[in-house]
Amino acid sequence: MSNSVHFANNLDSDIYVMVAPNQDWVWADLSTDLAFLAVDGIGAVNAVKDVWTAIKTVQALGDGIGSALKFTEFFKKNGITIKSGQCKDVLSKTTYENPLNYLTPSFWGALFGASDVTIIAVTDELKMSVMYNTNSDYSWIATGESVVRAKYGSLWQQSPQSGIHYFHTDAQPLLKEFTQYDDGQTPSVAIDSSNRVIEVHQSQNHSTLWCRMGALEGKEVSWGDSHQYDTGVSPSVTMAPNNKVVEVHQSENHNTLWYRVGTLSGDAIVWGASHQFDDGVTPSVTMGPDNQVIEVHKSQNHDTLWYRVGVLDGDEIHWGDSHQYDSGILPSVAFDGDKTVVEVHQSENHDTLWCRVGMLSDGLIEWGESHCYDNGITPSVAINRNGGIFEVHQSENNSSLWQLCGVIKNSAIEWSNNLNYTKGREPSIAMNNDNELVEVHKSQNHDTLWDGTGLYTK
């Protein structure tokens, strides 16, 4: 078969490109150079994906120009240098002045027998970097914030609708100021436009559910006391402008799903009765200003994902039918309060993350296509009334937590670069219409709960 991947550089700076048969490929002939790239906290650097994890860690930690220069020199030595305005075939045995001297005969055999290959590209001092898989007959253009697929038959004409991959940068994350606020596990958080914050979680020792009410004051959340409100596991919470709170959770004994409606009264939540509304596991809930409630969950028997739309009426919700919309695990849903619904979930087979955009109409959601947007586990998503999206998740390889910003274009989400913002597990994100962010997560080492705040600026 004919293999040719052209890479055009439309940036103002040089870019350095390396190619591999896949992300798990181990560069055995680079053992000395790879050892030189060792970064604290990520283990051995052997495979392609290890190099990528190390790059993102260096960018996120901002641990000085020295580490970034090490990676730049590694790519200069072992990869292809493409100067500004140049275009090169990065999948050719006769590369230009910079041969791929890490490619052994066995490597070339694997590379040229593959229909898809992996590309890693970086700029000087790791200011920008990207890793993605590509068909071995596609061409790409580095430009602005992303690498864009070239129109078939052209090397410089962009075709973003055919493929786009955003650069990871050394920009700083939006979420900061992390503080321990409680003990527990599987936390969920919500915030309204008055900066009132509600958090729910499961006890670290028992199947009891607890809630806290707080207020976002500057860069910190001022929390009230923690109160038990139910028993169960996997709680999720949302707020509406009419002083209402809706919480859903799974039974601690059965694969049944339950909800409660609460009313904010001063510094307290007055909870209504607990009602069973479906069977399933790991529910997530969101709602808008017109008392419309949207819930998603995984089937109790299969790796299928289902949604329900309901209408809040006092302390009860009148639910519509349950509809399957995808397959996967650990779904999270957000609603802009008008018609747009955003959902994210983890693949049922791999540590990949997927997203969908839907439109709510007459109690049903018309979903767009599902798109893979990152690697990771346990995603959580929020959206504001202007369509700004903020997502958090845990790394598939370790306990680092990552954030992404996104906007909806042509019924799909255009994501920015992912950024490491702290360490932990089970993150949950909330955003109000003033772009205020509140995040909660469990410690990576202990059954302690932490919160962080930020301001969405996409």
Among the residue ranges 110-119, 245-254, 279-288, 390-399, the one predicted with the least confidence is 110-119
CB atoms within 10 A of CB 32: 7
Q: In what helix (H) or strand (E) does residue 105 lie, and over which residues does it extend?
A: helix 105-112
> What value does the mean pLDDT take over residues 203-210?
96
> Which pairing describes strands 275-279 and 281-287: parallel, antiparallel, or unpaired?
unpaired
> What value does the mean pLDDT take over residues 355-360?
96
Q: Is the pLDDT of residue 110 over 70?
A: no
Q: Is the pLDDT of residue 102 over 70?
A: no
For residue range 262-299, what is the model confidence (pLDDT) as tens digits?
999 988 999 999 999 999 999 999 998 789 999 999 99
172, 183 contact by CB (below 8 A): no
Percent with pLDDT over 70 in the chain: 85
Phi first, then psi: what are they for 160, rounded to 5°? -60, -30
Q: Which residues contact 348 (CB under 8 A, 6 or more apart)?
A: 303, 327, 328, 329
Residue 39's closest CA among 24, 25, 54? 54
b/e burial code for range 278-300 (CB count within 10 A of at least 16 → b): bbbbbbbbbbbeebbbbbbbbbe
- The string of DSSP letters for 278-292 reads EE-EEEEEEE-TTSE
> What value does the mean pLDDT take over residues 150-172?
82
More confident: 174 or 342: 342
- The string of DSSP letters for 215-232 reads EEETTEEEE---EEEEE-
For residue range 6-30, what is the model confidence (pLDDT) as tens digits?
999 999 999 999 888 777 776 655 5
Round to whole Å and give the CA distance between 453 and 439: 6
> What value does the mean pLDDT take over residues 98-106?
46
Round to whole Å and give the CA distance between 432 and 452: 15
More confident: 44 or 29: 44
- The string of DSSP letters for 323-344 reads EEEEE-EEEEEEE-SSSEEEEE
Round to whole Å and give the CA distance between 7 and 96: 13
Mean pLDDT of the chain: 86
Round to whole Å and give the CA distance between 138 and 159: 11
Q: In what helix (H) or strand (E) does residue 57 lie, and over which residues does it extend?
A: helix 48-61
Among the residue ranges 153-167, 394-408, 421-435, 437-451, the one predicted with the least confidence is 153-167
Residue 65: pLDDT band (50, 70, 90) is low
395, 378 contact by CB (below 8 A): no
Residue 168: pLDDT band (50, 70, 90) is confident
Q: Is the pLDDT of residue 35 over 60?
A: no
Domains contained in the chain, CATH given: 6-169 (no CATH), 176-455 (2.120.10.10)
